[in-house]
Amino acid sequence: MKVAVYPGTFDPITLGHLDIIRRGAHLVDKLVVGVTTNPSKEPMFSVEERLAMVKREVADISGHIEVVEFGSLLMDFAEQQGATAILRGLRAVADFEYEFQMAGMNQKLNDEIETVFLMADVSLQPIASKLVKEIARFGGCIDKFVTPAVAADVRGHLDGGSR
């Protein structure tokens, strides 16, 4: 069984992420979406909230998809999950340098696990969680970037007065 891990912060999950998940799920027998607990990114949503959001959003995508939190080294998590590939999304040239370096170092850590890059649909490529949060904080409309349920989560969070 071919297993791949798609790791990320998903703070919040966007239409870009969902497109990569849809494409990735077609390529493998099982796609494990790894939601990082890494607090250094100071996420808007707790890991429990992000896990619940991702689970809800992938429920309608066909294929075998599991959503799992992880706080360990990515390559250790991938190995634990029995994965032979790490899936990453590439947006623009700006992503490339960081992704290139990370893929290279991960290759050194475990040469048995391949990093595979996918491109989201062209219309979804500019979407980034960070900008979605910024737009929402200034009262802008984020409906073109996330699902209606996620947009409601973000608005609910901001209305609640936290971060």
* Catalytic residue annotation: 17, 41, 91, 129
Q: Would the CA dihedral through 109, 23, 90, 157 be positive or negative? A: negative
Q: Least distance (Å) from ligand ADP to the CB of residue 71?
A: 13
Q: Which residues contact 45 (CB under 8 A, 6 or more apart)?
A: 11, 12, 53, 153, 157
**Among 5, 8, 25, 78, which residue interacts with ligand ADP (rule: CB under 6 A)?**
8
Report the residue number, 112 or 121, with the smaller CB distance to ligand ADP: 121
Residue nearer to ligand ADP on the CB measure, 144 or 155? 144
Q: DSSP letter string over 86-138?
A: EEEE--SHHHHHHHHHHHHHHHHH-TTSEEEEE---GGGTT--HHHHHHHHHT
- Spell out, one character per residue from 117 to 156, where the chain touches ligand ADP: x when CB under 6 A holds, - when not: ---x---xx-xxx---------------------------
What residues line the site for ligand ADP (CB under 6 A)? Answer: 8-10, 14, 16-17, 20, 88-89, 91, 95, 120, 124-125, 127-129
